[in-house]
Every structure is written in C-alpha cells, then in structure tokens.
Homo-oligomer: A and B are copies of this chain.
C-alpha cells in the first residue's frame, strides 16, 4: 500500500485522495458495496466520491492507495462512560444491584479529575484502534475528558453526568460546562446535558434539566428504563414508566439520547417515536448483566432511531462496536425467535447512518458521500476469517474484528495508519493508568457516590 506526501503546502490544494477502495453505503436497511472508488477529502469533508480514475490526483497533497480495503464511516458509539476503562474487570459475575451498590458506585468514589483524563485517553485510544471515531460520553469531570478528546483528534458528544442528589447547583454547573464546551476542539466536541436517570433524578430535577435544555439549546443524554424491573417499580412508585416521566418533565421536547430502554413498553415506544427520541443500544452489557434486551425492532418499526453503543467497560469490558454490532444482530434474532430478524441490511444501517442520527449529527456523519464529514475507517478484508469473500456484509458483521481496522480518519485527519496511533502515546497512557490501579480498585464499605434503589 503506497502512502506518501507531496512536497507542497498550498492550502488551495485538495488534501487527500483515497484510491481504489470499496465503499460501504447503507440506507433504508439495504447495504451496497461500491467497488473501485476514489474518495477526495478536502478541509475535513468528503469533496467527491467517484469511480477510480475519475478524480485527477494532480490536485492532492496526499495519495493513499487503498486497493482491497473497505472504506466505511467510522463507528459512532452512542452511549459510553469511556473513562470507566480504568475500572475494567473489577465487577464480574455480579447482579445489577450489586454491580451498582457494591462495585461501581463505591469504586467511583475514588475518582480524581486526573483519572478521567487518563481513562478517557485510554478509552479513546482503544476506540481508535477499533475504528470508533465518535462517542457520546456520559461521565464526570468532563472538562478533563474534553481535553483528552482534543488531543486524541476524535469526535465526542460530552455530557457531565449529574444526580438529583447533587442539587440544582450541580445541574447548573454541568449546564455551564455544556455551554462552554459546545463546538470545542474545532467543532469536534458537541455537548449534552446528562442527568443520570429518572430513578436518581426526580421530576423537579428533570424539569429543571428541560429548562436548561431550552435556554441553552442543548439535548439531553440520559439512562432510562434500563430493565423491565425498573419500569415496573417506576409504575408502582410514580404511576408512570421512566419514559413517561421523561415526557412529563419536558425532556423529550429536546433532542434526547435514551440509553438502554430494555424495559420500554409499547406505550413508551409510541412516546419515543412521537418525539423522535433516539435509543442507544449496548447488547453486551445486557447479556453480561442478564438484563434481557431492548425491543429495538419494534422501536425502529415505530420510527425510533437506534444507535450502537458500548456502555462502560465495567459491564461491556471493551469499547468495540464490531462486537456491539454483531451482538445486536444475534440477540435480536434470539429474542424474536427468528433467524430472519435483524438482517445484514438493518444491522449495517443502524451501525452507520442511524447511529449518526441518534448521536445528533445525522446529516454530517455515518455515511460516506460528498458534503459529509470525512470520518472514515479502512478495514482489511483479507484476513483468513473473512475468506473467501462470498459475502462482504456478512463478513463485516459476523467475522470482522476490531484488529482488522487498518486506518482511521476524523475530519480529514489520520488518527491511525497501518494500526499505528498517530495522535496518542500508548505507552505513556498505559503507564499512567497502571500507576493508579491500586488506588482505583479500593472499595470502602458504605462509601459510594450514589445508592441504586430504583
């Protein structure tokens, strides 16, 4: 594979021509592979996508020969807690209540802003290696997360997580973060309000959140109806499902990412559809924590957009959306008892354009076409596990691995080439995270940031 720079700095030149790749395009639950295509990238955008040879390479600073490689939109992770990678492996084989009360929330009382910075860098590096170019992240100390995103060169939709117990001042502080960081890192950072969940944020708090959304023109990223049990308890306590609570508080009048919704009822699905609310789907977490799964086929049929997600690495263990994509398809087949469900076209549409919609940038990301942002990955398709190439879509969904990602570009800039990270120092990140391991793993009885009691 040739890879060279021309000796010119003229800014009027186009930036880069990717030559002779196969381009994945998914739309309306169909998937196409356009072979022998060139992609012209200029000032962070896709300027042209044409059959190989039709774009003159004379105008480009960089020519990249990508013959035999698959070009596809970078994966968009619609719900994560990226810095939680620092706790990876610390809460295994435990039920959901213990996961929160005995592990995760005690562990998070160890968090320092510095941990979020290094954890974010570790998670972003892991995601770049796996072809994930954007992440909707929901965590703490998000100014430090934003710093990491700026350095890594990825995109991120950041929300500073807040509990009702932190009071309305806490909410205001996170709203001010969102206001301040909207459009940071040359526009690669967008921001969302991030109340934790209806069971940790009461109606007053949620209404205040909707008020901030209104005043600042922000969306809301929130967990809701994580399990059927949460829905049941919510009905008993409040006479409303968690989704109905969000609607009643006015949250759904704004752009909204609802994480999980495994406990969504038919009425909830109608509500989500009515408001155009997106649902982030993290199937590995649901399997590992025995949560059932979300009725995403019914949601999509009702018009609810669904996006892929990893959730945090303490439940999901990786931030790998190849894995999420595959598990989404397979668990839907199992759930509906039909191997014909969630076919390749549906799966790849969700993994690309629909995830972009949920992420809030449906017109900019998730599809390789002129005018869109140049966030793309090159995937090697010549691995033995993808041979012979009878069916590229099937190979991508059911055989490909994160390690097949060769190169990653965000906004026209390479973040990885030939599996070498170009913006981040892996050894330094691993060393820094390793130094905090012992401190981070401590759990003090009764010391936790919150109590899970839906």
Contacts and interface: CB of A to CB of B under 8 A. Distances in A.
Interface string A395-422: 1001101110000000000000000000
A270 interface: no
Contacts of A403: 401, 403
Most chain B beta-carbon neighbours within 10 Å: one of A341, A384, A395, A430: A384
A113 B349 CA distance: 39
Contact of A384 (B92, B391, B393, B426): B426
Contacts of A333: 287-290
Given A96-B339, A339-B99, A85 B387 contact: yes
Contacts of A393: 92
Contacts of A387: 85, 88, 122, 126, 430, 433-434
A382 interface: yes
A336 interface: yes
Interface in A56-109: 85-90, 92-96, 99
A437 interface: yes
Contact of A125 (B92, B125, B384, B437): B384
A433 to B, nearest CB: 5
Contacts of A391: 88-90, 92
Interface string A372-398: 000000000010110111111111001
A92 B437 contact: no
Interface residues of A, number: 64
Interface in A301-342: 317-320, 330-331, 333-334, 336-341
B441 A338 contact: no
B430 A95 contact: no
Given A343-B92, A437-B390, A385 B337 contact: no
Nearest to A343: B93
A253 to B, nearest CB: 35
Given A92-B344, A317-B399, A398-B317, A437 B388 contact: yes
B289 A88 contact: no
A340 B95 CA distance: 6
A129 interface: yes
Interface in A231-290: 284, 286-290
A122 B388 CA distance: 9
B394 A430 contact: no
Contacts of A384: 122, 125-126, 129, 426, 429-430
Contact of A441 (B94, B330, B390): B390
Q: How many copies does the complex hold?
A: 2
Contacts of A290: 333-334, 336-339, 341
Interface in A360-374: none
A95 B333 CA distance: 10
Nearest to A390: B89
B88 A395 contact: yes
Contacts of A399: 88-89, 317-318
Contacts of A344: 92-93
Given A387-B433, A388-B86, A331 B287 contact: yes
Most chain B beta-carbon neighbours within 10 Å: one of A130, A382, A398, A403: A398
Interface in A113-132: 122, 125-126, 129-130
B339 A390 contact: no
A401 B318 CA distance: 11
Nearest to A130: B385
Nearest to A330: B287
20 contacts: A88-B394, A89-B394, A89-B398, A89-B399, A92-B344, A92-B393, A126-B384, A126-B385, A126-B387, A287-B330, A287-B333, A288-B330, A288-B398, A290-B339, A317-B394, A318-B399, A319-B385, A387-B434, A388-B434, A401-B403
The 3 closest A-B pairs by CB, nearest first: A89-B391, A317-B398, A403-B403
